[in-house]
Chain A
Amino acid sequence: MNEIAQALPATRNPTWLWAHRQWALSALIFVLFIGLWEGGVRLFDVPSLVLPPPSAVLKSLAASLSSGQLTRHIWATGLEVIGGFALGGGFGFLLGCLIGRFPILEQTIYPYVVAFQTVPKVALAPLIVIWFGFGLSSKIVTAATICFFPVIANTLVGLRVTPADQVEMMAAFTASRSQIFWKARLPHALPYIFAGLDIGVVLSVIGAIVGEFVGAQAGLGYMILQRQFTMDIAGVFAILVILSIFGMALHALMRWLQRKVVFWIHEDDDRIVGA
């Protein structure tokens, strides 16, 4: 047996802990961070008005959840995020496809899209509330305007990366432009489109919260303002925890969808990626 064969066992047979080392490490970092936070707050006697200890945040979180006080607000923000993402992401995807399919639109429409992107969307939120009211729709629109751009930009980049030999192959078999678009360019763009959707879904959480800050009667952003008003800082942190769980769940959902749809790109376990 030579050296290389010794260094590379035929198949990997790691221990359970080694196989899940990234989880173990990540959990360790979490525990350390929380421990330092809790310990620091107690040690230096930081007033809980400035920084509540994690234990207080947890208590507040449990109380708000079990009393059902937040249920309505979680639903409201959830709807805004999903609605905004569906609207902005869907529109970004469709417009990206149109511009990618008909190059003349790239010179005529896309400059305006880019110009629109240079306006800070957060600064638009007050106007949007005036136009769409204090209810659900203004938050959906705010979230949509924020998550729109990464989706359209990624769609366009993705539609440009089709390998020339595949286009030539399709053309040689008498494919039309639209057939080349649907059968080669769009599938090639999917990994990019999902990257855009992944950014977009997290941005639409930001959009919904910003919309609620500007004017709302329900939602987690609205509750943050309420609790800030009553100096319930642990309560504010509890909502931040819910929001980040929300964002992570959406991110995980997009990752899962991407794996299902873009099934032909996945790393082989058996491949040696580098030393």
Chain B
Amino acid sequence: MLIEIAGLTKSYATREGLNVEALAPLSFTVREGEFLTIVGPSGCGKSTLLKIIAGTLRRSAGSVRLQGRAIDGPSRDIGMVFQSPVLLPWRTIEENVLLPIEIQRQDVRNHRARAADLFRLVGIEGFERKYPKELSGGMQQRVGIIRALIHDPAVLLLDEPFGALDAMTREHMNLELLRIWKDAGKTIILVTHSIPEAIFLADRVIVMSARPGRIAEVIEVDLTRPRRLDMINSDPFGDYVRRVRGHFGSHGGLDA
């Protein structure tokens, strides 16, 4: 198992001194090369979970292991994509993408070629010398994705990466992400609000319920690869959607 999470809990101390329990004891594993999606209503602790795996947030109890080693801080084996692109406005797109290389004190020049490949992969070649605000939201989000890939991490974590995009761009980005996953052989954990997106991308879907966040069900998605957009209209796909939505009732706060 690439990632093993056992008995993980998290409570936040609020300003009034009370503890907010964000994650109830949570256990699951992630296989190497797996595409795992996490879907759940707002506030159920999805970002919290991802931040703990990324090593930027302390857990309250339990253990998180990556390749057998306990995670107690950010790791070079992990690449993180945030809900908003979080680019540095004074850096060009290429400089933004190469930021992890710089931080990890690897040779920036040797990674230019890899950056160029990645720019081609997500279709924003020619924008390397531009600044973030010269790009559209969707383009910036792609920059965020290849920044997470540049140092070739084994695991890619994505926190609602396409939440701000329109439906068309979003479908396009989903296909691109699947292509990256297949080409680069990464393990991916992706958090989303969208039930169809969670099913379309995943080998397995973890359905979380609010609060404190618990695992309501883990669903193996048995649709053929490579996934095609027309599968969304197929009967098996509809069954999966109904099964996930069953956990949230009519007021689920999720995108169907």
Residues of chain A with a CB closer than 8 A to B88's CB: 166, 183-184, 187
The answer to whether A169 and B131 touch across the interface, beta carbons within 8 angstroms, is: no
Tell me, yes or no, whether A171 is within 8 Å of chain B by CB: yes
Chain A 156-199 per-residue mask, 1 if CB under 8 angstroms from chain B, else 0: 00000000011011111111000100011001000000000000
Q: Which partner residue on chain A sits nearest B76 by CB separation?
A: A174
The answer to whether B103 and A165 touch across the interface, beta carbons within 8 angstroms, is: no
Tell me, yes or no, whether B80 is within 8 Å of chain A by CB: yes
Residues of chain A with a CB closer than 8 A to B131's CB: 264
Q: With A and B bound together, what is the CA distance between A165 and B73 in angstroms?
A: 17
The answer to whether A174 and B74 touch across the interface, beta carbons within 8 angstroms, is: yes
Closest-CB distance, A194 to chain B (whole angstroms): 14
Contact of A173 among B84, B103, B133 (CB under 8 A): B103
Residues of chain A with a CB closer than 8 A to B100's CB: 173-174
Tell me, yes or no, whether B86 is within 8 Å of chain A by CB: yes
Q: With A and B bound together, what is the CA distance between A67 and B74 in angstroms?
A: 70
Knowing A165-B82, A166-B86 touch, does A172 contact B55 (C-beta < 8 A)? yes
Q: With A and B bound together, what is the CA distance between A187 and B103 in angstroms?
A: 16
Residues of chain B with a CB closer than 8 A to A179's CB: 103
Chain A 257-275 per-residue mask, 1 if CB under 8 angstroms from chain B, else 0: 0000001110000000000
Q: With A and B bound together, what is the CA distance between A153 and B56 in angstroms?
A: 30
Closest-CB distance, B47 to chain A (whole angstroms): 11
Q: Which partner residue on chain B sits nearest A187 by CB separation?
A: B90
Most buried by A among B54, B82, B103: B103
Q: Which partner residue on chain B sits nearest A173 by CB separation?
A: B100
Tell me, yes or no, whether B143 is within 8 Å of chain A by CB: no
Q: Which partner residue on chain A sits nearest B104 by CB separation?
A: A174
Residues of chain A with a CB closer than 8 A to B133's CB: 264
Q: With A and B bound together, what is the CA distance between A166 and B89 in angstroms?
A: 11
Main secondary structure of the interface of B (DSSP, over half): loop
Residues of chain B with a CB closer than 8 A to A170's CB: 99, 103
Q: With A and B bound together, what is the CA distance between A202 and B151 in angstroms?
A: 47
Q: With A and B bound together, what is the CA distance between A170 and B104 in angstroms?
A: 11
Contact of A174 among B51, B75, B82, B86 (CB under 8 A): B75
How many A-B pairs with Cβ below 8 Å?
A: 51
Knowing A165-B82, A165-B84, A179-B103 touch, does A171 contact B74 (C-beta < 8 A)? yes
The answer to whether A169 and B82 touch across the interface, beta carbons within 8 angstroms, is: yes
Q: With A and B bound together, what is the CA distance between A265 and B89 in angstroms?
A: 9
The answer to whether A174 and B90 touch across the interface, beta carbons within 8 angstroms, is: no
Place the interface of chain B in its size category: 20 to 34
Closest-CB distance, B161 to chain A (whole angstroms): 13
Q: Size of chain A's interface in residues, with CB distance under 8 A?
A: 17
Q: With A and B bound together, what is the CA distance between A175 and B54 in angstroms?
A: 13
Residues of chain B with a CB closer than 8 A to A171's CB: 56, 74
Q: With A and B bound together, what is the CA distance between A166 and B91 in angstroms?
A: 13
Q: With A and B bound together, what is the CA distance between A20 and B96 in angstroms?
A: 38
The answer to whether B86 and A165 touch across the interface, beta carbons within 8 angstroms, is: yes
Residues of chain A with a CB closer than 8 A to B55's CB: 172
Chain B 219-246 per-residue mask, 1 if CB under 8 angstroms from chain A, else 0: 0000000000000000000000000000
Tell me, yes or no, whether B201 is within 8 Å of chain A by CB: no
Chain A 84-102 per-residue mask, 1 if CB under 8 angstroms from chain B, else 0: 0000000000000000000
Tell me, yes or no, whether B78 is within 8 Å of chain A by CB: yes
The answer to whether A264 and B89 touch across the interface, beta carbons within 8 angstroms, is: yes
Q: With A and B bound together, what is the CA distance between A165 and B82 in angstroms?
A: 9
Residues of chain A with a CB closer than 8 A to B99's CB: 170, 173, 183
Residues of chain B with a CB closer than 8 A to A165's CB: 82, 84, 86
Residues of chain B with a CB closer than 8 A to A173's CB: 74, 80, 99-100, 103-104, 151
Q: Which partner residue on chain B sits nearest A262 by CB separation?
A: B90
Q: With A and B bound together, what is the CA distance between A168 and B100 in angstroms?
A: 13
Q: With A and B bound together, what is the CA distance between A171 and B88 in angstroms?
A: 14
Q: With A and B bound together, what is the CA distance between A170 and B74 in angstroms?
A: 10
Q: With A and B bound together, what is the CA distance between A183 and B104 in angstroms?
A: 13
Q: Which partner residue on chain B sits nearest A172 by CB separation?
A: B80
Residues of chain A with a CB closer than 8 A to B56's CB: 168, 171-172
Residues of chain B with a CB closer than 8 A to A174's CB: 73-76, 100, 103-104
Q: List 30 A-B contacts (CB under 8 A).
A: A165-B82, A165-B86, A166-B86, A168-B51, A168-B56, A168-B86, A169-B82, A169-B86, A170-B103, A171-B56, A172-B54, A172-B56, A172-B74, A172-B78, A172-B80, A173-B80, A173-B99, A173-B104, A173-B151, A174-B74, A174-B100, A174-B104, A175-B103, A183-B102, A187-B88, A187-B90, A263-B90, A264-B131, A264-B133, A265-B89
Given contacts A172-B78, A173-B99, A174-B100, 11 further A-B contacts (CB under 8 A): A165-B84, A166-B86, A166-B88, A168-B51, A171-B56, A172-B55, A172-B56, A173-B104, A174-B103, A179-B103, A183-B102
Which residues of A pack against B, CB within 8 Å?
165-166, 168-175, 179, 183-184, 187, 263-265
The 4 closest A-B pairs by CB, nearest first: A173-B100, A172-B80, A264-B89, A169-B86
